[in-house]
Amino acid sequence: MLSSFELLEPTTVQEAAGLLERYGDEARVYAGGAELILLMRYGLVDATYLVNVKTISGLGGLVAGEDALRVGSIVTHRALELDAAVRKGWPLLAAAESHVGNIRVRSQGTLGGNLCFADPHADPPTALLVYEASVTIEGSGGSSWLPLSEFLRGTYETALQPAELLVEIEVPRLPSGWTAAFARTERFYRPTANAAVAIDLRAGAIAGARLAVGCVGPTAMRLPQLESELAGLTPAEAGRRVMDARAYLSRQLDPVDDLLGSAEYKSYIAGVLLARAIGQAAGTEGANGHG
Ligand SMILES: Cc1cc2nc3c(=O)[nH]c(=O)nc-3n(C[C@H](O)[C@H](O)[C@H](O)COP(=O)(O)OP(=O)(O)OC[C@H]3O[C@@H](n4cnc5c(N)ncnc54)[C@H](O)[C@@H]3O)c2cc1C
């Protein structure tokens, strides 16, 4: 049963930060509530005050710029999945967003809530790491910027300090000519594992690659060593190389057994999903909108 709480409705980030500071552990940031209300209903989180950030209009921006997409933290998964400019310029992100849960979760849940909750079984972070996204966080002491790879610290753990808010996510475009794909396997709506890949294919050989895997270990991760080993390979050779990299994946991704799969299965499936995504990226001409 959901215990009673007071809903606070700030209209600016500074006002929200002030409320979080004043009420400390008694207050929680409330965005879409897809996770928070569920946890409160199960008695896993207790809050006297919910600070509703959806009343802060400054957090709702979605701007596709020349170099980067700027996503306000309260933008929903559904908005990102459907937005024409996102689908054209950041198709890997739109693809990852289209996989999240179901239409109810995508309409309710926000990208900011997804990143702040830091559930290891998430889709957007895997795609965002391939774009080398960064985040802006803000508290009453001011704002700071950091790469998403540093924001995501571990299972349900981020770089956010008490009374700080995630304000914006900046998603650079992929370099011109790169193509990308997202692959996922799932159970009960949530991803068991996922992979995001972007490649620069020149005359049939890979000239550059970015690979990320999510849901296998505590947080989504890029795989820099494997990325560099793909240089000069055809997509088919690259697919075999990632499938053969099970020991590296197992070491790098720190896989854990959980309800969605054993560590051994997840290391194996990570290679399969990477190979599948490489094949798809190689076959999807213009997948990042630059042709
Ligand atoms: C049935 C189901 C299926 C799901 N399937 C998937 C899936 O397939 N893939 C996937 O990636 N996710 C999935 N999710 C997770 C869910 O979609 C995301 O976690 C959702 O985006 C959470 O966003 P929210 O706005 O609802 O966050 P909330 O529930 O409002 O908040 C989540 C946490 O983040 C904090 N928070 C929220 N916004 C901010 C902010 N701006 N600054 C600081 N802290 C903040 C809150 O205090 C809370 O601790 C699923 C969830 C459900 C219930």
In tens, the pLDDT along 98-150 reads 999 999 999 999 999 999 999 999 999 999 999 999 999 999 999 999 999 99
The phi and psi torsions of 110 (rounded to 5 degrees) equal: -105, 160
Interval 53-62: pLDDT, tens: 999 999 999 9
- Ligand 1 contact, 117 CB (< 6 A): yes
Residue 31 Cα to ligand 1 midpoint, Å, equals 8
Is 208 a domain residue? yes
Task: Tell the residue nearest (CA) to atom 12 of ligand 1.
Answer: 122
Coil, helix or strand for 200?
A: strand
Helix axes 246-253, 263-283, angle to 10 degrees: 110
Answer yes or no: do 42 and 78 share one domain: no
Ligand 1 geometric centre to CA of 290 (Å): 31
- Whether 249 and 213 have beta carbons less than 8 Å apart is answered as yes
Query: Do residue 61 and residue 42 come from a single domain?
Result: no
* pLDDT at residue 287 tops 80: no
Same domain, 245 and 271: yes
**Spatial distance between the Cα atoms of 226 and 242, rounded to a whole number of angstroms:** 7
Q: Which residues, 6+ apart, have CB-to-CB distance to 175 below 8 Å?
A: 200, 208
Nearest alpha-carbon partner for 169 in 103, 79, 277 = 79
Ligand 1 centroid–CA 110 distance in Å is: 6
Q: Give the pLDDT mean for 166-178.
A: 97
pTM of the model: 0.95
- 228: CATH: 3.30.390.50
H/E element, 18 = helix 13-23
Q: Return the pLDDT at 285.
A: 38
| Position 110 in a domain | yes
Residues 187, 165: one domain? no
198 assigned to some structural domain: yes
pLDDT bin (cut points 50, 70, 90) of residue 286 is: very low
Task: Indicate which residue's Cα is closest to atom 4 of ligand 1.
Answer: 101
User: Domains in the chain: how many in total?
Assistant: 3
Residues 76, 47 share a domain:
no
Residue 261: predicted pLDDT: 82
Range of the domain at 46: 6-55
Q: What is the mean pLDDT of the chain?
A: 94
Predicted pLDDT of residue 257: 87
**Pocket-testing residue among 2, 36, 75, ligand 1, by greatest number of atoms within 8 A of Cβ:** 36
pLDDT digits (tens, 9 = 90+) for 21-51: 999 999 999 999 999 999 999 999 999 999 9
Nearest to 27 by CA among 18, 15, 19, 35: 19
CA distance 128 to 126: 6
Please tell me the distance between residue 87's alpha carbon and the centre of ligand 1 in angstroms. Answer: 22
Distance CA 40, CA 37 (A): 5
**Rounded-to-integer distance, Cα 179 and Cα 181, Å:** 7
Residues 48 and 63 in one domain: no
Is the minimum distance from the CB of 29 to ligand 1 under 6 angstroms?
A: yes
